[in-house]
Structure 1
Amino acid sequence: MLHNTNSLTTFLSKLSVLNYKYRLLENDKEQFNIFKVLHKETDEVRLHSRFISVLLSPESTHNKKETFLKLFLEQLSIENFDTTNVKVYPTESQKSEFKEIDILIINRVSKQAIIIENKIWAGDSNHYHRGQLEGYYDLIHLSENIPKENIYVLYLTLDGHYPTVESLGKFGSLDNMNGKTIDYEHEIQTWLTLCLQECISHPFLRESIIQYINLIKQMSNDFTNMEERLEIINLISSSSENMSSAKLLVENFKHVKWHTVWDFWYELSIELEKEGYIVNLKPSKEDVTCTTHFEVYKKSYEASNDYGLRLSLNGKIQLFIWNGTGDDWLYWGIYPQGLQLDKLLTIESLGCFNKNETEYWKYFDLCSQENIFFPDFSYKGTFNLIDRNYRKMMITEKIVHEINSYVGTILNE
């Protein structure tokens, strides 16, 4: 056992040196990115959907007419789509979505349409009477009089995950909506690379696409270049000890992740109790095993994969802290039924809460490098929680502090 520990320590030290070397080289590269300057990098509507739609539109000022659109259709194997008379929403001049659809490619002459639902972090916006994708599909079919067989649905995400059953509604699957999942790292990045080849003599357009590709690589955690990857492979394969150490890390990292997530929720509940909150359903460690995936925390309503904590304070405020297993990072909120009507106006006046029919909620005000997304430890904010000191800092100085600040504002109104 001691031999394994020493070998792993040596292997990690060598890997750390390699990482340090490439991070130094990375710091010498130009870091400026106009997209990150103008918008939050995860801004689905104002950044990603608008830029993609402008490239797709034959009417845009890039003057490439249907070229980019045709490359997009070829990349996604969508055949026999008439690219003449096509309208793409949002447009350069009208930046709003078409009836809340992130990107709509529509040919009202040939009666064809492509719906692109763009999900960077947000979950599906379902309603009690219909799912999000179900509603968009029916909307285009009925309001635009387009046959269902001529409507395609593309579900665009960072990791290619599937939409929720609720979003699909009565259709049950994307196949029944002529649909498929696509992601930024593969389909979108490949398409953009093809677009680059068409704008060699257009420097402004070319550099804009290059910067957008770089943004996608950062969002997809695709930082390593080929040389760095080859060095990592060579390091692992250079000795049997390194091979064993790498295998040990791979086999045990799932346990590291599980314990990190469990410790986070448990330590958070303890800190909240110190502040006077009553934490409902706080578990003992015996209640949770690796296979239950925090069942003790799960929401009570049907078909939910979300988990988190429910809180109350002085019998006046009902709160929750939640992390979905789909594509929502850590967020918190307040149940309206726990507040008087005048307090609801106070929440809205804070200018930071979103709302649906049953709750007010917001993501924690963490910087983009610190966002917590438990399903994926490749994100820095999640990975760093393995460090108990970092985890304590995030809980006490960020999360609990933010909740206390807003709750204090509400109670003092």
Structure 2
Amino acid sequence: MENIHQINQLLNETQTISESYKRVADSTGENFNIFSILQMESDEVGTHSRFLAELLNRKGRHGQKDKFVKLFLNRFAPDHIFRTEKSETYVEFHVGKVAKEAGGRIDILLRDTDGNVVMIENKIYAGEQYNQLLRYRNAFPSGKLLYLTLFGDDSAQKNAHGLYFPLSYETDIIEWLEDCRKESVAVPILRETISQYINLLKKLTHQNLNKKMNQDIISRILRDNASLDSFRTLFDLHKDLKKEIIASIVSRIKQMFEERGFENIQTMDFSKDKGRLISFETPALKERGLRFQMNFEGSNYSGLLLGFVNPTASHPKDAELIKMVKAEFPKAQQSDWWNVFLRYEEYRDWYFAGLSKIYFDEDDAFYSDLANKVDRIMAVFNERVNGTIAVAELAADTFENPGI
């Protein structure tokens, strides 16, 4: 009982600290973030590559010439020969048609007038393409290749090892951006824009925005041995706690799908923290080799997608269905595995902040929004099926009655 009392006391005091800083953040507008408001958080090219490239561009509208690119290369490529004052910056740089070991589009490319090159492959949630890093290295064998991910992950492709240098948004890019912000003190709009982007990256890598609050909480935990033991007890529970919350949410989603008559509903394997959340079939989907699926693209239940998957390669992609879904959802995309999918921007990452937003919402906004999306995308699919059937019936009638 003593341990429970210590845990309750620690939770109460931590909550008091957190609420105090939250009031300050609300009054100062710290939580206002234009990238989040415009739902641009996970757009690798449109947001992240373009923002980074703009800062790295000596001709960029920031007006700081090559100041930021110098800071970048001094940190991440100090031994690489590169003339920043004679550099050009490109986004989605084309290096030829994709072949086995050549071609593709490099996310960010820096090149000086002497032909020295720095390449940045930028991954937020998207998976790697076949031989991607090898193809880029072959395009510029003497160039510096940086592999940028949220947490500094290594490439999963064995033939890429030794070809690149890993970088993380979590520490590397944030620290470089903090250097850029220091150099922008006299340019308020630029300084605050960089600050908002730093806050976005901290959100994506689930870091608290306020370092002083973090330190206050750490100091409270380290006040005595009992407090540290209480924190350890809570920390040891965090994975089981997250699974408990997600299992409850999945149960609600499953009930929603059952009420709509969907079949063969499959839920996630809770020994994993990525991949399928839940999926279902209908007879029409099954006939076309498709399943509706909600899927975490990244680890730690992050990067939620939903749409129609091709579990096998036996059925070709339905180009007309893709076109129709994109008409209803303009941001819809496709890939090798997905016939068509949407990024669930509003509830993309199921870290504790996102789970709390779902679990404790008395208005059930998540479930209402999900039901709306599922109903709309299934209505598009059914329209496609009915249109195909109508065309087939018309063709059959014409064949039997050529005079029609």
Shorter-chain TM-score range = 0.7 to 0.9
1:230–1:411: structure 2 CA closer, same or farther, 3 Å change rule? same
Q: 1:123 is paired with a residue of what secondary structure?
A: coil
Q: Does 1:372 align with 2:344?
A: no
Q: Secondary structure at the match of 2:292?
A: strand
Letter in 2 for 1:57: N
Q: Give the corresponding residue for 1:192.
A: 177
Counterpart residue number, 1:64: 64
- How far 1:347 moved relative to its partner? 2.5
> Contact 1:39–1:47 (CA<8 Å) still a contact in 2?
no
* TM-score where L is the length of structure 2: 0.76
Is the radius of gyration larger for structure 1 or structure 2? 2
Per-residue Cα deviation, 1:106-131 (whole angstroms, up to 9, x for no partner): 23x433222112223x31252xxx33
Instruction: Determine the C-alpha separation between the residues in 2 that align with 1:182 and 1:258.
Output: 30
Question: Relative to structure 1, is the Cα distance of residues 208 and 253 closer, same or farther in structure 2, using a 3 angstrom cutoff?
Answer: closer
Query: Is residue 169–residue 201 contact of structure 2 (8 Å, CA) maintained in 1?
Result: yes
Alpha-carbon distance between aligned partners in 2 of 1:214 and 1:392, rounded to the nearest angstrom: 28
Q: Structure 2: state its 5+ residue gaps.
A: 95-104, 385-404
- Paired with 1:73 and 1:45, the residues of 2 have a C-alpha distance of 21
Q: 1:279 to 1:392 in 2, by over 3 A?
A: farther
Residues 274-353 of structure 1: matches in 2 within 5 Å? Answer: 274-281=259-266, 292-293=271-272, 306-316=275-285, 318-326=291-299, 329-335=303-309, 337=315, 342-350=320-328, 351-353=330-332
* Partner of residue 111, structure 1: 115
Distance 1:412 1:269, change over 3 A: same
Is structure 2 residue 146 aligned with structure 1 residue 157? no
Cα separation, 2, equivalents of 1:353 and 1:50: 20
> Are residues 1:396 and 2:354 paired?
no
The AA in structure 2 aligned to 1:360 is N
The Cα of 1:87 is off from its aligned counterpart by 1.5
Contact 1:316/1:338 (8 A) holds in 2: no
CA-CA distance at 1:213 after TM superposition? 3.1
Question: What corresponds to 1:23 in structure 2?
Answer: 22
Q: Deviations over 1:115-162 (max 9, x none)?
A: 112223x31252xxx333233333x23xxxxxx2x2222122222223
Shift of 1:76: 1.0
The answer to whether the Cα contact below 8 Å between 1:353 and 1:360 also exists between their aligned partners in 2 is no
- Give the distance between the partners of 1:186 and 1:401, measured in 2 at CA: 38
Q: What is the identity, as a one-letter code, of the residue corresponding to 1:333? A: G
Asked whether the equivalents of residues 89 and 103 of structure 1 are also in contact (C-alpha less than 8 Å), the reply is yes
Q: Report if the CA contact (8 A) 2:305-2:344 is conserved.
A: no
Does residue 131 of structure 2 align to residue 124 of structure 1?
no
- After TM superposition, the structure 1 stretch with the greater mean CA deviation from structure 2, 262-271 or 8-17, is 262-271
Tell me the number of residue pairs that the alignment of Structure 1 and Structure 2 aligns.
Answer: 362
Contact 2:82 2:117 in 1 (8 A): no
Q: Is the 8 A contact 1:321 1:331 kept in 2?
A: yes
Structure 1's unaligned 5+ residue stretches are 91-96, 142-147, 295-304
Q: Which whole-Å deviations, capped at 9, do the CAs of 1:344-380 have from their partners, x for residues lacking one?
A: 442233234211245333335452xx3234xxx35x2
Structure 1 residues 309 and 222, CA, compared in 2 at 3 Å: closer, same or farther?
closer
Deviation at residue 190 of structure 1 after TM alignment: 2.0
Residue 403 of structure 1 and its aligned partner are, at CA, apart by 1.0
* C-alpha distance in 2 between matches for 1:46 and 1:355: 17
Seen in structure 2, the aligned counterparts of structure 1 residues 268 and 45 have a Cα distance that, compared at 3 Å, is same
Aligned residue type for 1:402: K
Distance 2:317 2:254 in 1: 22
> Cα gap change, 1:10/1:137 in structure 2, threshold over 3 Å: closer, same or farther?
same
- Relative to structure 1, the CA distance from residue 342 to residue 73 in structure 2 (aligned partners, 3 Å threshold; closer, same or farther) is closer
Q: Are residue 98 (structure 1) and residue 93 (structure 2) matched?
A: yes
Q: Deviations over 1:271-297 (max 9, x none)?
A: 3223211135558xxxx6x7x438xxx
- Cα 1:132–1:189 change in 2 (3 A) is same
* Equivalent residue letter for 2:348: N
Shift of 1:209: 3.2
Indicate how the Cα distance of structure 1 residues 104 and 13 shifts in structure 2: closer, same or farther if over 3 A, else same. Answer: same
Q: Residue in 1 aligned with 2:401? A: none
Residue number in structure 1 paired with 2:90: 89
Cα shift at 1:340: 6.6
Once the two structures are TM-superposed, the CA of residue 200 in structure 1 deviates from its matched residue by: 4.3
Instruction: Supply the distance in 2 between the matched residues of 1:277 and 1:392 (Cα, whole angstroms).
Output: 25
CA distance in 2, matches of 1:391, 1:279: 30
Alpha-carbon RMSD: 3.3
Aligned residue type for 1:330: L
Contact persistence 2:110–2:118 (CA under 8 A): yes
Deviation at 1:35? 4.9
Shift of 1:55: 1.9
Asked if the contact 2:317/2:339 (under 8 Å) is kept, the reply is no
How has the CA–CA distance of structure 1 residues 112 and 52 changed in structure 2, closer, same or farther, with 3 Å as cutoff? same
Q: Residues 239 and 307 of structure 1: is their aligned pair in 2 closer, same or farther, counting only changes over 3 Å?
A: same
Contact in 2 for aligned 1:366/1:398 (Cα 8 Å): no
Tell me the distance in 1 between the aligned counterparts of 2:108 and 2:187: 25
